[in-house]
Amino acid sequence: MTANGLPVAAAAPEAADTVDVVALGESMVTFMPTGPGRLADVPSFERGIGGAESNVACVLAAAGHSARWVGRVGADGFGDHLVEAIAAYGVDVASVRRDPARPTGIYFRTAGDRATDAHEVVYYRAGSAASAMTVENVDLGAVRAGRVLHLSGITAALSDGCLGLLRELTAPRAGRPLVSFDVNQRPGLWRGADGPRVLRELARGADIVFVGDDEARQVWGLHGARAVREALPEPGIVVVKQGRGGAVAFHEDTGGRCEDSTGAATFVPALNVDVVAAVGAGDAFAAGFLSATLRGLPLRDRLRHGHLMAAAALTVPGDLATPASREHADRLAALDDEAWGTLRLGPGWTEADARAEEEVRTP
């Protein structure tokens, strides 16, 4: 199904359990320090939730879409917390399975920017309940009962069973949902040298792919957005994120050419943001892009909504932020190129009156 020549999520069949988006993957309890410093020196932590796919589901639910998270957690208190916290965002968690023999994954991180050498993160996820997901123990009917199915490369790295599950979900199938795949390369999770090959295989089976240009260099040795598109010719849309520079999206008819919004590809510069914490922005970007895709918006506006959702995440301390109202975001996404280029967003911007002139501030 297309709008403006672009892939759009098809309407799901009429059924009580169909939703706009289904996200499948591991979610973990995260412990964030109450102050700066090394993990060895931090005296206390605040509990939160983290998980690429569940983050996307939470943001989309907060933005007014129906969303479902499918995962597996332990029959423990941390599992209780995850299910309750994700459900509090309005996400359907009825298909989450509990594993009495395996724990819920947890991790600790420092308060510093993840891009710096001082950042520390320690995962306790080996043998987690989520790593035991397989084609046989996941409700595939619930997974496929959405207009969009969002997956990531993280799940594929957890176990052979998880990889088999992602291969099943990205395989060509009549009537399957629009499959969204975020590469999300995590070198530390892969148990061998197959990661790059597997991630490319899964990406080529998707309809929409998200990958960072730095990520593509690290995992595939590709340099530049054009090279990424040429390596992934099958997906209807490939989005290459370029950090503070912006993002470029290739449509299926581009033939690998990059022409900065003149038809072959669309480039949208990133916003000027007063960053509080550089966490959760990638998941938020994907959620914004998918939200606009569900609404059948043009490619430029899909990228702009991605940037706006990312800006919401960047201006709060944790992974998840309350997005701007749809009316507010639509008004900003409709700005002309000059106004978009001078827009600057800081903490609290999502709660500001969208009609207020002070919302748009020049540097």
Active site residues: 283
Region of 225 (left: φ > 0; alpha: ψ -120 to 50; beta: rest) is alpha
How many residues are given for the chain? 363
Dist CA 176 CA 168 (whole Å): 11
Q: What angle do CA 246, 313, 357 make, to 5 degrees?
A: 80
Dist CA 160 CA 156 (whole Å): 8
Dist CA 311 CA 274 (whole Å): 9
Dist CA 77 CA 106 (whole Å): 12
Three-state SS string over the chain comes to CEECCEECCCCCCCCCCCEEEEEECCCEEEEEECCCCCCCCCCCEEEEEECHHHHHHHHHHHCCCCEEEECEEECCHHHHHHHHHHHHCCCECCCCEEECCCCCCEEEECCCCCCCCCCCEEEECCCCCHHHCCCCCCCHHHHHCEEEEEEEHHHHHHCHHHHHHHHHHHCCCCCCCEEEEECCCCHHHCCCCCHHHHHHHHHHCCCEEEEEHHHHHHHHCCCCHHHHHHHCCCCCEEEEECHHHEEEEEECCCCCCCCCCCCCEEEEECCEECCCCCCCHHHHHHHHHHHHHHCCCCHHHHHHHHHHHHHHHHCCCCCCCCCCCHHHHHHHHCCCHHHHHHCEECCCHHHCCCCCHHHCCCC
Q: Is the dihedral of CA 5, 271, 232, 177 positive or negative?
A: negative
